[in-house]
A and B are shown apart, each in its own frame.
Chain A
Amino acid sequence: MAMYSTNEFKSGLKILLDGDPYAIVENEFVKPGKGQAFNRVKMRNLKTGRVLDKTFKSGESVEAADVMDTDMQYLYADGEFWHFMMPESFEQYAANEAAVIDAMKWLKEQDMCTVTLWNNVPLSVSPPNFVELKITQCDPGIRGDTATGGTKPATLETGAVVKVPLFVNEGDVIRVDTRTGDYVSRA
């Protein structure tokens, strides 16, 4: 089992603490001239997303977390699991709801996603930054309606609801930034 000593700590390093995988966000070395050295570490729990402050006695070692980001194609959902495939090996992985919770409303079959594997099991899924999705339901725009800021809600084929300009119609395919949930353009 791989271990990291505190002197190998740097942002991005994945470590295991109390059974949970963490990514180091920030690491600061603190040491009095004549005394014990410490590493003050900000780290993100990769399961919950919570950021934690922890102080390590310098020289301590922690277990490395076997965490890897991989590009995979989204295949389908079977009601319980979301299935992804490695494009070269055709190896398939099933992600549970907790892993796809943030991504599910953007997932369209065939799209490439980033799947974070921990011990070879999907830990989280990130959708592509931009997706192109079809509008399945939205009201026709009413010209001159400025009370809504010139936008209206539109439901997309994946179930996501985004604000779109009034000139966009049901059946159009639009481009959306998944990081903000904002409409970008008509595709």
Chain B
Amino acid sequence: MLHRRADLLRSIRHFFHERGVLEVETPCLSRAGATDPAIESLTVTLPEASFWLHTSPEFPMKRLLAAGSGDIYQIARVFRAGEAGRFHNPEFTLLEWYRVGFDHHRLMTEVDDLVRGLAGDRLSRPAVRLSYQQALMDHAGIDPLHADVEALARRARALGLDVQGELDRDGWLDLLMSLVVAPALPADGLTFIHDYPASQAALARICPDNPAVAERFELYWGGVELANGFHELGDGVEQGVRFEADNHRRRAAGQAAVAVDHHLLAALAQGLPDCAGVALGVDRLLMCLSGCDHIRQVLAFDWERA
């Protein structure tokens, strides 16, 4: 497995070298962090201040893009508190890249090229692209853009899901996506789910033709979520509003607020080139490529032994 991992990293670097995408490195430890309420950062306390360990290298990479770096990629060790399980290790390897002038559809094609090139005959069918709305209608029998909380909860119960705890609308959607849709996706193929509900836009643009959805996609190999990509939001003011809204939701849920990255907002104000970016979980990709069913099988030392 050590050799497989080394081969995979070499192949990824070769892929981007061939395409003229520049490898970069950005800080793991920052004065600002990810505000996303669904992601908990680890903090490191130094004499001068508390720092956040990055959960993805997205913000500093966007600062490089705004400064004119052009196409860039990074293979980074990232950290997410409390995420441990069959497909999660609190410290893991993320491949993240940005393509100037791409939209999310063109980037999906490139993700497909990369993964297909690595997979060889492990993938026996061509990748499928499915809108989020279609995916939930086909596999969970409900329209995610129009159903209200009660309808989603009823549908989940009808599908045999017995849930303990209060969920909001996006919580029910996440439940149906993770526990109903994902397991039903074809095991021997890639599925791109795109155009997420605007409420789950994260750092993606809202679709200009349809304000109900955001230009965001996720890649699944079978039922395993491998990557998340955006046609990147370049509007610094809107991004600032979303960060504040995240922190508002964090405080309402009893989570600590996270320092907003003002360097990023300043860079967006300067102008982010039109671009699309994606983050892909390298450990999970290695699991899929080698047929492993627990993340510990692809790590030299997993969390329990770290």
Contacts and interface: CB of A to CB of B under 8 A. Distances in A.
Interface of A: 7, 17, 28-38, 40, 52-60, 62
B82 interface: yes
A57 B171 contact: yes
B174 A36 contact: yes
B165 interface: yes
Contact of A33 (B165, B171, B218): B218
Contact of A31 (B36, B178, B279): B178
A31 B88 contact: yes
Interface in B146-193: 160-167, 170-171, 173-175, 177-179
A34 B36 contact: yes
Contacts of B200: 34-35
B135 to A, nearest CB: 13
B162 A54 contact: yes
20 contacts: A30-B85, A32-B38, A32-B225, A33-B281, A34-B36, A35-B38, A35-B171, A35-B173, A35-B174, A35-B177, A36-B38, A36-B167, A38-B174, A38-B179, A53-B160, A53-B162, A56-B165, A59-B165, A60-B164, A62-B164
- Per CB-CB distance, the 9 closest pairs between chain A and chain B, nearest first, are A29-B85, A57-B165, A35-B174, A36-B174, A60-B165, A36-B171, A56-B164, A33-B228, A55-B163
A38 B82 contact: no
Contacts of B269: none
A62 B164 CA distance: 10
Interface centre among A17, A29, A40, A58 (most CB of B within 10 A): A29
Contact of B175 (A7, A53, A55, A62): A55
Contacts of A34: 36, 38-39, 200, 202, 228
A55 B164 contact: yes
A19 to B, nearest CB: 14
Contacts, number: 83
B184 to A, nearest CB: 15
B86 interface: yes
A52 B161 CA distance: 11
The prevalent SS among residues of A at the interface is: strand
B245 to A, nearest CB: 14
A57 B83 contact: no
Nearest to B167: A57
B292 interface: no
Given A36-B38, A57-B163, A60-B164, A30 B83 contact: no
Contacts of B161: 55
B170 A36 contact: yes
A45 to B, nearest CB: 13
Nearest to B82: A7
Contacts of A29: 83-88
Contact of A36 (B86, B87, B160, B175): B175
A35 B163 CA distance: 16
Nearest to A41: B164
Given A29-B86, A35-B170, 9 more contacts: A28-B85, A28-B86, A30-B178, A31-B85, A33-B225, A35-B173, A38-B174, A53-B160, A54-B163
Contacts of B179: 30, 38, 40, 55
Contacts of A54: 162-164
Contacts of B177: 32, 35
A56 B167 CA distance: 10
Contacts of A32: 38, 174, 177-178, 218, 225
Contacts of A62: 164
B162 A55 contact: yes
Q: Which of B39, B162, B165, B281 has the most CB of A within 10 A?
A: B165
A59 B167 CA distance: 12
A6 to B, nearest CB: 9
A40 B173 CA distance: 16
A28 B86 CA distance: 7
B159 to A, nearest CB: 11
Interface string B272-295: 000000010100000000000000
Nearest to B85: A29
Nearest to B253: A59
Contacts of A28: 85-86
Contacts of B85: 28-31
A31 B83 contact: yes
A120 B137 CA distance: 51
Nearest to A27: B85
Contacts of A56: 163-165
